[in-house]
Amino acid sequence: IASRDKIKNFIDEACSTYGLDEKNVNLLGFSQGTILSYAVALSYPEKVKNIIAFSGYINENILVETYKENNFDHLNFYSSHGDMDQVIPIDWARKAPVILEKLNIKHVFEEFPAGHGVAPQNFYSLKKWISTKI
């Protein structure tokens, strides 16, 4: 079973077990966690609402084949990346907003002067974004 499917199943189990609001699930990922957060959101958009994606990229090879047919109307993405990232090149991350735009998904993409990490000023920007979404 693919990792994206395990996360989808975990979301279902957590909502059921703990009485969580399945209409208000938010994912936050860093690096590989971002890659998987993108995969879950684009493959199963009905399972999540907001996605915070730090220092990662969209790997279309791990999305469900029919992902472009999904309804993404309710999704919101906040993505950021360090412009000096030595692990995941900034060019890979810059493809995400292009893909999200083609799918008409609401998103913010920001670059910060950082390597493979999260710059302090990134947190202020994220806080502002969160205050309008959650």
Question: What are the pLDDT digits (tens) for 7-54?
Answer: 999 999 999 999 999 999 999 999 999 999 999 999 999 999 999 999
Q: Could you tell me the CATH number of the domain that includes residue 106?
A: 3.40.50.1820
Quick check: 1 pLDDT over 90?
no
Chain Cα centroid distance, residue 63:
13
Backbone angles phi, psi at 25, to 5 degrees: -95, 130
Alpha helices in 1-134 (DSSP H): 3-18, 32-43, 90-93, 95-102, 120-133
Give me the pLDDT at residue 73, please: 97
Rounded mean pLDDT of the chain? 96
Domain of 99, in residue numbers: 3-133
pLDDT above 70 for 134: no
Q: What's this model's pTM, rounded to 2 decimal places? A: 0.95
- Give me the number of domains the chain comprises: 1
Q: Which of 94, 96, 15, 110 is nearest to 63 (CA)?
A: 96
